[in-house]
Amino acid sequence: MTTEAGSETEVKEKAEESAAQPDQSETAKPESQEVANVEGGEKEKGKEKEKEGKEGKGITRYLPTWFKKQKSQTSPTKEVPATEEPVSKGVEGEEEPAPEVNGHAEEVEEKEEVKSEEVKEATQPESDSNASADTEPAKEEKVEDATAKSPEKTKDTAVGEGAEEEKKKEPEGHVEAETDGGESQTSIFQSPLRLVRKNKMKVVVCHVTLLDGTDFTCEVEQKRAKGQYLFFKVCEHLNLLEKDYFGLTYKDNHDEKCWLDPTKEIKRQIRSNNWQFAFGVKFYPPDPSQLTEDITRYLLCLQLREDVASGRLPCSFVTHALLGSYTLQAELGDHEPDQPRPLDFISQLTFAPNQNKEMEEKILELHKSHRGMTPAQADLQFLENAKKLSMYGVDLHHAKDSEGVDIMLGVCANGLLVYKDRLRINRFAWPKILKISYKRNNFYIKIRPGETEQFESTVGFKLQNHRSAKRLWKVCVENHSFFRLNAPEPPTKARFLTLGSKFRYSGRTQAQTRLASSLIDRPAPSFERTSSKRISRSLDGAPVISITEAGSETAENGRDHRLELHSDSKAEEVDLSPADVEAIPSQQQSPGRAEPALSQDLDKTQDEVLKHQASISQLKRSFMEAPPPSPPQPNQWEKRLTSSPATIRVQQHQVVSVPQTEAASADNASSETKEPAKTTEVEIEETVVIQEVSRAPKPGVVTVTADPTAAPPAEHEPQDQKVKVEEEAALAEVEDVSPMKPEKASSDSESEEEAEYHPNVPASISQSQIPEEKEEEEQMKEEEEEQQQASAPVVPSLPAEVSQPAEETSQEEEEEESKKEEMEVEEKKDDQEEKESGRETEDSTDDPMVTPEEAPEGLMVPEESAEAGPTEDLEQPKMNGEASLVEVDPRPQVICCSEPPVVKTEMVTISDTFAAQKTEIATKEVPIVHTETKTITYEAAQLDGNSDGEPGVLMTAQTITSESLCTTTTTHITKTLKGGLSETRIEKRIVITGDCDIDHDQALAQAIKEAKEQHPDMSVTRVVVHKETELAEEED
Amino acid sequence: MANMCPYGRFTHAVVRGIPETFGKTAGEGRENGEVTVDQAKAQRQFGCLTGALRQKVGLQLIEIPPDPELPESWRVEDVAVIQGDTALITRPFKQQRRSEADAVRRVMSELNLTVVEMGDEQGDSGGATLEGSDVLFTGREFFVGISSHTNRRGAEVLADTFRDFAVSTVPVCGGARLKNFCSMGGPDTIIISNGDGAKKTLRMMEQLTDHHYDVLTVPEESAANCIYVRGPSKRDFLLHRPAEECPDSVSAFQKLPDYTLLPTACSEASKLGASLSSLCLLVNRKHTYF
pLDDT tens-digit readout, A4-32: 443 444 444 444 444 444 444 343 344 44
- Looking at the domain assignment, is residue B32 inside a domain? no
Confidence of residue A278 (pLDDT cuts 50, 70, 90): very high
Report the candidate in A76, A67, A31 with the shortest Cα–Cα distance to residue A48: A67
Confidence of residue A384 (pLDDT cuts 50, 70, 90): very high
Confidence of residue A1028 (pLDDT cuts 50, 70, 90): low
Residue B22 is predicted with a pLDDT of 87
Cβ distance of B164 and A369 shorter than 8 Å: no
Q: Is it the case that residue A605 has pLDDT exceeding 70? A: no
Residue A323 is predicted with a pLDDT of 94
Cβ distance of A316 and B169 shorter than 8 Å: no
Q: In chain A, which among 390-409 make CB contacts under 8 A with chain B?
A: 390
More confident residue, A995 or B226: B226
- Report percent pLDDT > 70 for chain A: 31
Residues of chain A in contact with residue B209, where contact means CB-CB under 8 angstroms, are 427
Q: Does A316 touch chain B (CB under 8 A)?
A: yes
Residue A610 is predicted with a pLDDT of 40
Residue A955 is predicted with a pLDDT of 53
Tens digits of residue pLDDT in A673-716: 333 333 222 222 222 233 333 333 333 333 333 333 333 333 34
Confidence of residue A156 (pLDDT cuts 50, 70, 90): very low
CB A919 within 8 A of CB A908: yes
The parent domain of residue B180 ranges over 10-17+37-281
Residue A950 is predicted with a pLDDT of 44
- Report percent pLDDT > 90 for chain A: 17
DSSP per residue, A745-793: HHHHHS-SSEEEE--S--HHHHHHH-GGG--HHHHHHHHHHHHHHHHHH
Cβ distance of B86 and A366 shorter than 8 Å: no
> Mean pLDDT score of chain A, rounded to an integer?
56
List phi, psi (to 5°) of A723. -105, 110
| Across A198-207, A646-655, B264-273, B277-286, least confident range | A646-655
Could you give the residue ranges of the DSSP H alpha helices within B34-173?
Answer: 39-51, 101-110, 152-161
More confident residue, A1029 or B77: B77
Residues 6+ apart with CB under 8 A from A861: A587, A588, A589, A732, A735, A736, A796, A800, A801, A804, A805, A850, A854
Can you tell me the mean pLDDT for A409-435? 93
Q: Is it the case that residue A791 has pLDDT exceeding 90? A: no
Cβ atoms within 10 Å of A524's Cβ, excluding its own? 11
DSSP three-state, residue A56: coil
Cβ distance of B152 and A423 shorter than 8 Å: yes
Residue A199 is predicted with a pLDDT of 53
Residue B175 is predicted with a pLDDT of 61
CA distance A710 to A403: 43
Amino acid letter, residue A321: A
Q: Starting from the edge strand earliest in sequence, which strands make up the sheet with A276-281, in order?
A: A215-221, A203-209, A276-281, A246-251, A257-259
pTM, 2 dp = 0.54
Residue A992 is predicted with a pLDDT of 64
Tens digits of residue pLDDT in A893-951: 333 333 333 333 333 333 333 333 333 433 344 444 444 445 454 544 444 444 444 44
Question: Which residue of chain A has the CA closest to B5?
Answer: A388
Residues 6+ apart with CB under 8 A from A925: A437, A439, A444, A500, A754, A756, A834, A835, A838
Query: How would you class A453 by CB atoms within 10 Å of its CB: exposed for 0-12, middle for 13-18, buried for 19 or more?
Result: exposed
More confident residue, A974 or B112: B112
Q: Is it the case that residue A839 has pLDDT exceeding 70? A: no
- State how many domains chain B has: 1
- Looking at the domain assignment, is residue B243 inside a domain? yes
Q: Going along A125-190, which residue ranges are E strands?
A: none
A406, containing H or E segment: strand A406-411
CA distance A225 to A856: 46
Cβ atoms within 10 Å of A519's Cβ, excluding its own? 12
Residue A971 is predicted with a pLDDT of 60
- Looking at the domain assignment, is residue B30 inside a domain? no
Residue A486 is predicted with a pLDDT of 82
More confident residue, A1024 or A640: A1024
Can you tell me the mean pLDDT for A310-335? 90
- Looking at the domain assignment, is residue B176 inside a domain? yes
Residues of chain A in contact with residue B210, where contact means CB-CB under 8 angstroms, are 414, 427
Cβ distance of B2 and A319 shorter than 8 Å: yes
In CATH, what number is assigned to the domain containing residue B169?
A: 3.75.10.10
CB A667 within 8 A of CB A634: yes
- Looking at the domain assignment, is residue B184 inside a domain? yes
- Looking at the domain assignment, is residue B288 inside a domain? no
Q: Is it the case that residue A284 has pLDDT exceeding 50? A: yes
Q: Is it the case that residue A42 has pLDDT exceeding 50? A: no
Report the b/e string of A394-431 with b at 16+ CB within 10 A: bbebebbbeeeeebbbbbbbbbbbbbbbbbbbbbbebe
CA distance A720 to A939: 10
Cβ distance of B144 and A423 shorter than 8 Å: yes
CA distance A297 to A689: 34
Residue A339 is predicted with a pLDDT of 67
Residue B184 is predicted with a pLDDT of 95
Residue A981 is predicted with a pLDDT of 61
More confident residue, A652 or B216: B216
- Looking at the domain assignment, is residue B114 inside a domain? yes
B146 forms beta bridges with B171
CB B288 within 8 A of CB B85: no
- Looking at the domain assignment, is residue B155 inside a domain? yes
Closest by Cβ to B3, choosing from A318, A369, A425: A318
Cβ distance of B163 and A319 shorter than 8 Å: yes
Tens digits of residue pLDDT in A65-103: 434 444 333 333 334 333 344 433 433 333 333 333 333
Confidence of residue A505 (pLDDT cuts 50, 70, 90): confident
CA distance A32 to A38: 9
CA distance A807 to A940: 9
Residues of chain B in contact with residue A427, where contact means CB-CB under 8 angstroms, are 168, 207-210
pLDDT string in tens for chain B (290-residue length): 455 688 999 999 999 999 988 887 644 444 545 678 888 999 999 999 999 999 999 999 999 999 988 999 999 999 999 998 899 999 998 888 888 999 999 999 999 999 999 876 656 667 899 999 999 999 999 999 999 899 999 999 999 999 999 999 999 975 689 999 999 999 999 999 998 889 999 999 999 998 999 999 999 989 999 999 998 778 999 999 999 999 999 999 998 888 999 999 999 999 888 999 999 999 998 765 54
CA distance A415 to A448: 13
CB B160 within 8 A of CB B137: no
Residue A62 is predicted with a pLDDT of 41
